[in-house]
Amino acid sequence: MHHNDHHLVLGGQRSGKSRRAESLAAAWLATPGREAALVATAFAGDAEMADRIARHRFDRAERVPGLATVEEPRALASAVRALAAPHRLVVVDCLTLWLTNLLMPLAGQAVDGDRLDAAIDDLSDVLRAAAGPVVLVSNEIGLGLSPLTHEARRFVDELGRLHQRVADQCANVTLMVAGLEVPVKRRASAA
């Protein structure tokens, strides 16, 4: 993985997408002098979510001990900008929760269309200029039936749009299905 080889890892719930991102981080950390940091976007709005976050934090530390964790539920572009460096891999887990925090926050105001566009533009700009590689994890939820409510349809639409913007900045895109990698986009080999 080179400094600008961003990687988008998509999949359904429990598809193996976070594990794939962790394996990329572990491979990165195998080279001396390298660091890795995970930006966790989850927000503990209730006891079950707080337990889930704690379990993820513990499991991640067991699997990838050198992976530092930064929790940032909304200011994702700023967090990636601050962490990106040639010697550091940044893992974002996950874009789905980040978008949820912007559109349907448990605390605070949802962003309007213009502010959402600005947040996505800012993330895209940060990825374009990042000094080091970024792995982004997200749920692919656009493969099923069209949601019944306006809010749910908007969320599916906005997440699909976000995925397209991020995929455009990534050298690699992988779809995880049942723990298996399905390559969607791969960096072209040098001739």
Which residue range is the domain that position 160 belongs to?
Answer: 7-185
Cα–chain center distance at 123: 11
User: Does 67 reside within a domain?
Assistant: yes
User: Does 1 reside within a domain?
Assistant: no
User: Does 191 reside within a domain?
Assistant: no
* pLDDT score, position 81: 98
Which entry of 7, 56, 150, 163 is annotated as an active-site residue? 56
CB atoms closer than 10 angstroms to residue 186: 11
Structure tokens at 62: 């067991």
75: CATH: 3.40.50.300
- 56 flagged as catalytic: yes
Mean pLDDT, residues 143-155: 89
The dihedral over CA atoms of 78, 82, 86, 90, expressed in degrees to the nearest 10, equals: -60
User: Does 137 reside within a domain?
Assistant: yes
The per-residue pLDDT for range 103-136, each reduced to its tens digit, is 986 666 777 888 999 999 999 999 999 999 999 9
* pLDDT score, position 2: 54
* pLDDT score, position 97: 95
Mean pLDDT of the chain, nearest integer? 92
User: Does 190 reside within a domain?
Assistant: no
Mean pLDDT, residues 29-52: 94
CA nearest 59: which of 82, 80, 38, 44?
38
Overall number of domains in the chain: 1
| Rounded distance between C-alpha atoms, residue 38 and residue 21, angstroms | 10
